[in-house]
Amino acid sequence: MFIVGWLFKNVSCNAVAQKIYVELNNTVPCVRLLNATHQIGCQSSISGDTGVIHVLESEADLEWPLSKGPNPPYMVLLESSLFTKSIMMKMKNASSRVAGVVVVPKTSQPEFSPHTTCPNENTGVYTETYDHNLAHCNTTVWNPRGNGLSYEEFDFPVFSLKEDNETEVIKQCYFDHNRVVNGSGLQYPLCAMQLFSHMHAVTDTATCMRRSSMDFSTSPVMVCDPLGGYNVCTFIRPYNSTAFGHKENESVVIAAARLDSRAFFLEDSTGAEGSVSGFVTLLAAAQALREATQEAPPTRNILFAFFHGEVFDYIGSSRMVYDMKNNMFVIDLDNVHSILEIGQVKTCISINVWTYKCMDIRSNNNESVTNLVKNLQSSTAGLNLSFVETGFSQPLPPSSFQRFLRARAIPGIVLADHQTDFNNRYYESFYDNAAHLNLTYPSNLSPEEQLEFVTDTAKSLTEVATAVARALFKQAGGNNSQVNKINADPKTVTQMLYGFLVRSNNSWFQSSHQANALTYLVQYLLANLTGTATNLTQSQCKKPDELPNESTYLYSYLWVQGVVPPNSTQRESFCVRTAVRLVKAVSPAFDLGDYVSKEYSTWTKSQWKFIKARIFLCKICSYFIFFVLSNNVLFTVSWD
C-alpha cells in the first residue's frame, strides 16, 4: 500500500544547489528529559526546523515575529538578558510563528533561576506522612527566584551559542538582509537558520523505557537513558570492596557534598555556588585530613562521599541508601555514626549550621547532633569564621542528608551560606559561574599565573575546609592534640576553583587526568590528594593484583599523568594507590523496573540522532515535503 502526498509550508529557501550553508559548530541544545509523569525540554521536528532570523532587541520587539512579520515562522535570536520566562512563554504560546530560539550568553540578569521554587520537594524527608507541615516548602520557600523555566516543554528547538564569532556572523546576516526598516522587512534574499534536535523519546519514562526494551534488532536503538553516573567515595581506612553489608564494631562518619548542577541548557551548567563551592571545600578537607589520620588514626572511620545526580531527586544519595539497606555497599546504615554535609558556601565569614533533631526523646540523636555542632564551632581557632546554628523550627534545606533521614533518624548537620532561603540568586542557571563566585584575577597574569593566584574566594573556602576537617577529626574520635595541626591548603583550593570554573585545560588538571568529565576529574583529584604515590610501573599499575604486596580488594590503582618538569617535554607519570572508588549512581527505580516510582528518581534523558545548526540565504522562502507511506514506514524528501 502506497500513499503519496505533498505538504507545503512557508518557511525554507531556494534550490539546494544554490544554497551556501554556514555551519554553527559551537552550540548547546536544550534536550528532552522525562520522568514518571511527563516530559520537559525542547526538540525540533524530525527533519529539523527552519525559519527567517529575527534578532530580538527588546520584549516589545516580539510583536514582529509573533504577529506582524510577513515571513513566519521565525528563528528568534536573543541575548541572555532577554532569556526570561515571560518572553519564552509568549513564544511558546505562538509556536506556529516561531521555528526556534537561539540564546547568546552575554550580560547576566540581576537574578535568574530557571529551577523550581522548591527543589526536590517530593523526594526529601518531609512528606505528607512525616512532618507534613514542612513538606512542599510550606514554611521556607528555598528558591523564591525560581521561575520553573527548565521544567517547561517547548515544541521548537532552543539552542545556546558558545562562540562570539558565530554570533557576529548571524547578526551581520540579519542586519544585511532581515532587519525591519520603517515597519516593513527587506526584500529577498532573507537570512534563515535551520536547527536539528529531534528527540527519540516521548510522553514519559515508562513509555520510553518500554519502547527501548521492545527493539529486538541486531543494533537496538535506545530511546532514552536513565540519568545518573557514579558517586565518588573514599574511606580514610579502606574496607574490602567485595565484602558488602554490616561491619561489626565499625562506626563511620560520612562527609558529603553533591557533584552535579543543571541549567536550562544541561551542558551550560557550572554550578559555581550551587555545587562547586561545596565539593571543592570537601576535597580540600579530605586532603587536610590525610596526614593527621595516618599519623594518629581516629577510632571511627570517615567516608568522603561526592554524590552525583542530586539535582534530579537525589539520584546518588538515594542509591547509596538503597545499597546500604540491601547489603550492596561495604557498610550498612547501622554503621553510620553521623553525617556532615557541605551545601552552598559562597564567600562569607559566617556559615549557618542546619541540624536535624529527632522528635523521639528515646533516641540519642539530639545529643549526637549537639556534639557535632560543638565539634564544628570549636574548630575555628585562628580562623576568621564562625558557625551559627539555625533555629529548631527551621526545616533542613534541600540536601543529600534528607535521603538518609527517609531511611533512618541519623544524627547530622548541613552547612550552608543562607539562613532561610538561598542567597544564590542564580540557582541552577548558567549565571552561577566564576563571576558569581567573585573569582577575579589581575589583568596582567597569564593563564598559568592565574592558576597559582590565591583569590579571596579561595581563602574563604580554605577556612571552611579547615574547620570542616578539624570537626570531622574530632567527630571520628581523633586526638585533640592533633586538631590545630590540621589546615587546608589555599593553593590547592585556588587551583581547583580555577580548573572547575575558569579553565579546565590547565597544567594542574592535566597532571592528574586528561578526561574532562567532572566525575573522573574529581576521582583523580581525590586520589592525588589522599592517596599514596608508588614506584609501580604503568603495566604494574594496570595489573596490581599480580603483585604480592598490593591488594585490589582494598585499593584502586590509578596511573597519573604527572607534571612536566622545567626544561623537559616528558611528564613524570606515576601510579597512585588510593581508596577512592566509583560507585554506581543510578536510581533504584531502574533496577526495580518501577518507572512510576514515588520513592526514587525516575528521570531519563532522550536520545537523538544528531544535533546541528546552520544559516543560509533564501530567495523564495517556501518549501514542500514529498512523503511516501509504504508498509507503515514514512519516508520524507524535501526540496527548497
Q: What would the pLDDT profile of 232-247 be if each residue is shown by its tens digit?
A: 999 999 999 999 999 9
| pLDDT score of 132 | 85
Q: Is the peptide bond before 157 cis (omega within 30 degrees of 0)?
A: no
Confidence of residue 635 (pLDDT cuts 50, 70, 90): very low
Give CA–CA dist 125/117, Å, rounded: 17
Question: Is the pLDDT reported for residue 283 higher than 90?
Answer: yes
| pLDDT score of 26 | 93
Cell matching residue 165: 564569532
Cβ–Cβ under 8 Å, residues 320 and 307: yes
Give CA–CA dist 316/584, Å, rounded: 8
Give CA–CA dist 513/560, Å, rounded: 6
Question: Is the pLDDT reported for residue 251 higher than 80?
Answer: yes
Q: What would the pLDDT profile of 490-520 be if each residue is shown by its tens digit?
A: 999 999 999 999 999 999 998 887 677 999 9
Cell matching residue 279: 565539593
| pLDDT score of 221 | 76
Q: What would the pLDDT profile of 552-593 be if each residue is shown by its tens digit?
A: 999 999 999 998 888 888 889 999 999 999 999 999 999 999
Question: Is the pLDDT reported for residue 624 higher than 50?
Answer: no
| pLDDT score of 639 | 39
H or E element: which one contains 206?
helix 205-213
Question: Is the pLDDT reported for residue 627 higher than 60?
Answer: no
Give CA–CA dist 145/245, Å, rounded: 43
Q: What is the mean pLDDT of residues 481-486?
A: 92
Confidence of residue 143 (pLDDT cuts 50, 70, 90): very high
Confidence of residue 183 (pLDDT cuts 50, 70, 90): low
Q: What is the mean pLDDT of residues 66-78?
A: 94
Confidence of residue 184 (pLDDT cuts 50, 70, 90): low
| pLDDT score of 640 | 42
| pLDDT score of 15 | 37
Contacts of the segment 511-519: beta carbons below 8 A, 24+ positions apart: 511/560, 511/561, 511/562, 511/563, 511/571, 512/560, 512/561, 513/560, 513/561, 514/561, 518/259, 518/260, 519/229, 519/230, 519/232, 519/259, 519/308, 519/582
Question: CB burial class (10 A; 0-12, 13-18, 19+) of residue 491?
Answer: middle
Q: What would the pLDDT profile of 210-228 be if each residue is shown by its tens digit?
A: 998 887 676 777 899 999 9
Cell matching residue 71: 515571513
| pLDDT score of 521 | 95
Give CA–CA dist 271/40, Å, rounded: 21
| pLDDT score of 359 | 38
Give CA–CA dist 292/466, Å, rounded: 12
Mean pLDDT of the chain: 89
Beta strands in 67-122 (DSSP E): 74-79, 98-104
Q: What is the DSSP string of 442-465?
A: -TT--HHHHHH---HHHHHHHHHH
| pLDDT score of 570 | 86
Q: Where are the alpha helices (DSSP H) in 249-352?
A: 277-295, 315-325
Confidence of residue 392 (pLDDT cuts 50, 70, 90): low
Confidence of residue 131 (pLDDT cuts 50, 70, 90): confident
| Cα four-point dihedral sign 43, 45, 46, 47 | negative
